[in-house]
Every structure is written in structure tokens, then in C-alpha cells.
Amino acid sequence: GARVFGAWLNHDDSRGVNSLDMLETTNGRTWIKHYMFDFGSILGSGTIFAQRHRSGNEYIFEQKPGWLSMVTLGLYVRPWMTIDYPDVPPSVGRLEADRFDPLTWKPEYPNPAFANMRPDDAFWAARIVSKFSDEAIRSIVEKARYSDRAATDFVTKTIIERRNKVVAAWINQVCPVADVALSADGSLTFTNAAVDAMAATPPERYSLNWFRFDNATDQRTPVGGAMTVSSGSA
């Protein structure tokens, strides 16, 4: 799911050397904790200057664009070269949302973890991104204490627009039914993460099928017929 977060905030330096897995033990319980660090190249920042236009759109080295540029003697125009970045205060990095496409976003270097991201991984991350409300995002951006109010407004607006695109791109790639719970009295409740994130319209009905699952054989057997409900409870 790190690719989803990286695309949202244009964390283009997301790579193996900037992550670390540590085996930690507390009170006799051991687990693996994932760390990410080095966030100097994020939100359009190049650490000490605005990030390059290529950031988020193409790897530092890609054979196809390189060959096309060479055989056309530089006449080939890479798509990211036509992005019209807004005129923003100097305190804001090279960041935009109009041409941003979460599904084609790329960090600086190929990342096997990103390539191996499954639809359910993306759903998990997109659902977390969807929890950041407009108000929460503005409050976080205001913590930067930009001296120019226009910078605060632009960064807030851009992060919100990128959030919307990220959620729309990934939260519907799997069945968005979540938080499924079966109470002692046999009542079933669930939520629709895509509807909650306003990335889908509420369906008219849900079709439920029950199965008996055998853990030993990994087999499931249908139990009864399909049920139809109109809300997140049955």
C-alpha cells in the first residue's frame, strides 16, 4: 500500500534504502515493525529546491523515453514536459493535481514492493487516505506555518484533489464491503468503504451468499440460497 501513499503525496524517493524492517520484542511479544524515512523529496520538494518536472511521471532512467529522445534528436516530447505547473509562492514545491494520475505515477526508481502491490493492498491504503477529511488536511498543512496564506491554500487544495483521485482509483478495485460483523443473535452488519469515501453511489441492493468453510481442506460449501438486502445489515 505504500505506493498509494507515495502517489498521493508525491513521495518520489520511496525506495528500499529509505525503508527498514526491524524485529522488535516487548514483554515477550515479537513482531516486525516497518519504518520509512528520508522525506526530503515529497510534496514537490527537491530538498533544497523545487523538484524537477519529471518527478512522479518517469523514472530517473527509462529506456523507451531515452531511446525515443535519441532517435528523434530530442524532438520527442515526453508527456510530463507539457504539464503546466501553477504559479505558486516560492515556498511551495513543484506539485499539481490536474494532470496527476495515481495509476501511472512513478517514484524516482522502480520499487518491487510497488510492482507487487495487490488490489487488496491498494484498497487498504486508499481507505486510510479517504479518512483524511478536508478539515484535517487543512489543519495539517497549517502546521507548516507558511508566511504566505496563498501557499497554505494551494497545498491544501492540491492535497485534497490528489486524495480524491487516489481514492477513486483504488478503493473500487475490489469489493468495497468492509467491517463485516456477525453478532451473537445472527445479525450481520457491514459498511461500504467506497460509498463512505464518496467514491461510489449507494447500491440499490446487496446480494449475500453463505458458505460453510473447512479450514482443514480449504473448501467451502454453499449454505442456503442468496439473500438480498438494501443496507448494511441483515
What pLDDT does residue 234 have?
57
Confidence of residue 233 (pLDDT cuts 50, 70, 90): low
Q: What is the mean pLDDT of residues 30-40?
A: 89
Band (pLDDT 50/70/90 cuts) for residue 3 is: very high
- The C-alpha R_g of the chain, in whole angstroms, comes to 22
pLDDT tens-digit readout, 81-118:
889 888 888 899 899 999 999 999 999 989 888 899 99
**45 strand-pairing partners:** 50
**Cβ contacts of 134 within 8 Å, gap of 6 or more:** 156, 160
Residue 232 has pLDDT above 80, yes or no: no
Residue 19 confidence (pLDDT):
86
Helices 2-9, 119-130: axis angle to 10 degrees equals 50
Take residue 94 and report the three cell numbers written for it: 513543484
* Model confidence pTM above 0.95: no
Would the CA dihedral through 197, 139, 161, 93 be positive or negative?
negative
| Largest interatomic CA distance in the chain | 73
Task: Please state the three-class secondary structure of 70-102 as a single string.
Answer: HHCCCCCCCHHHHCCCCCCCCCCCCCCCCCCCC
Cα-based distances in Å from 181 to 189, 193, 195, 233: 5, 15, 18, 9
